[in-house]
Amino acid sequence: MNKNEWIKGEIALWRSEGLVGDDLAKRLMGRYADTKSRISWGAVIAGGFGALMIGLGIIALFASNWDCFGRGMRAVISLTPVVACGGIAMLAEKKGWKTMALWEPLGILWCIASSAAACLIAQTYQLGGSVPGLVLFVALLTLPVVWLTRSVVAMSFWPILAVVWGISTKNVEGASWWALTRALAVMALSVPALVAFRRREVGKAARVTGEWILGLVYAIGTSVLILSVNPHHYRYFDFKQYVGVFWICSLVVMLVGVACKIRAWPLVATIVASFAAMFTPFEMTWMYLMALLIAGAVIAWGVCKVRLSYANIGAVLFLWLVLMKFFSSSIDFTTKGLVLVVAGVALTVLNVVMIKFKKGRV
């Protein structure tokens, strides 16, 4: 139930109790009229894919005939889609069009057009620069589009540009804390778009999708950025020795999600941290014990809050850590098989008990 539905129910209750008259109730109902778009989430997805195909098709069409145009015409062709998207956005704002069926594909198409225009003009006029500079320019160029359109896809994937820029900067300048700080600062520029998106009246599917994608991008992208750009020169093939980085980034995402009431982020952070914990090396005792502690904490949280998803994630992680340690031992396969059966039964019983308990509470 959204806030409009709730307040309309309250007004109806006030009216039935005689607290407000019919005229005042009607005026209040009009003030909180339901303005949410009736467009389905499927239509929004179809529109997004349509915009993506249109953008890529236009790029392919002009790319095949690019040598036929002079420099001036190339610049005009490159900028025309960008200007057209801006014109549509201005018209939509003037007319008060709020539907996601318009703004979602417009945001995707506008970002593609702006990125392509920047690359094509730079290639046409042989502008000097570096790969990191081009990536940063494209990121800053598309950022206002993300803020304005509040497109779920554009908003969710924009921080990846900051990750790519940070990694490419490291390849040119070398790893340093300064490079890492700059990359994280660029990632933080996407926060206003997240705030604007959350204030927007969208369907539950769109809200949850955006929160999940952006939570994964922040948790995983920030971890990859730290492992790549920091001066300690972490190596990807030593990933299991640096699981703690993913734990810290996941913890930050979880705390922000709790503080800002982003419901999907605690679960996203739990999944990322649990997945990272699965690569915990047995020979590093403190890290292995920490992974077991995380698994136990997730199980306890799921049981206390009657959240089956958390309980299952924690149980699977705990069983994974224990069984992998167990199966790496020299115990015979008969015993290992029996232990595996017992673990499966225990997980099933946990689910059945929690489902019955949850139904009893409802």
pLDDT in tens, 153-165: 888 888 888 888 8
CB 160 within 8 A of CB 205: no
Q: b vs e for 47-75, b when ≥16 Cβ sit within 10 Å of the residue's Cβ?
A: bbeebeebbeebbeebeeeeeeeeeeebb
Cα separation values, 133 from 113, 165, 285, Å: 18, 8, 43
Same domain for 176 and 108: no
In a domain, 140, yes or no: no
Contacts of 64 (CB under 8 A, 6+ apart): none
- The total number of residues written for the chain in this structure: 362
Q: Domain total for the chain?
A: 4
- Domain-ending residue, one of 100, 128, 156: 128
CB atoms within 10 A of CB 94: 8
pLDDT score for 102: 82
In a domain, 325, yes or no: yes
Same domain for 69 and 25: no
In a domain, 133, yes or no: no
Q: What is the pLDDT along the chain (362 residues), one digit of tens a residue?
A: 455 666 777 777 777 777 777 777 777 776 665 544 444 555 556 666 676 677 677 767 666 666 677 778 878 888 888 999 999 999 988 888 877 778 888 888 898 889 888 887 887 777 766 788 888 999 999 999 888 888 888 888 888 888 888 888 876 667 778 888 888 888 888 888 777 777 766 667 777 888 888 899 999 999 988 888 776 655 544 556 678 889 999 999 999 998 888 888 999 999 999 998 888 877 778 888 888 889 889 888 888 877 888 888 888 888 888 888 777 766 666 776 776 777 777 777 777 777 776 666 54
Same domain for 265 and 164: yes
In a domain, 175, yes or no: yes
Same domain for 204 and 109: no
Same domain for 331 and 353: yes
Query: Strand, helix or coil at 234?
Result: coil
Same domain for 332 and 255: no
In a domain, 350, yes or no: yes
Same domain for 51 and 27: no
Report the alpha-carbon distance of residue 74 to residue 46 in Å, rounded: 30
Report the alpha-carbon distance of residue 268 to residue 252 in Å, rounded: 11
- Domain-ending residue, one of 97, 128, 159: 128
In a domain, 243, yes or no: yes
- 120: containing domain: 41-128
Report the alpha-carbon distance of residue 340 to residue 111 in Å, rounded: 50
* Closest to 228 (Cα-Cα) out of 305, 315, 163, 137: 163
In a domain, 139, yes or no: no
Report the alpha-carbon distance of residue 176 to residue 169 in Å, rounded: 10
* Closest to 162 (Cα-Cα) out of 217, 239, 105: 217
pLDDT score for 73: 82
In a domain, 236, yes or no: yes
Same domain for 154 and 84: no
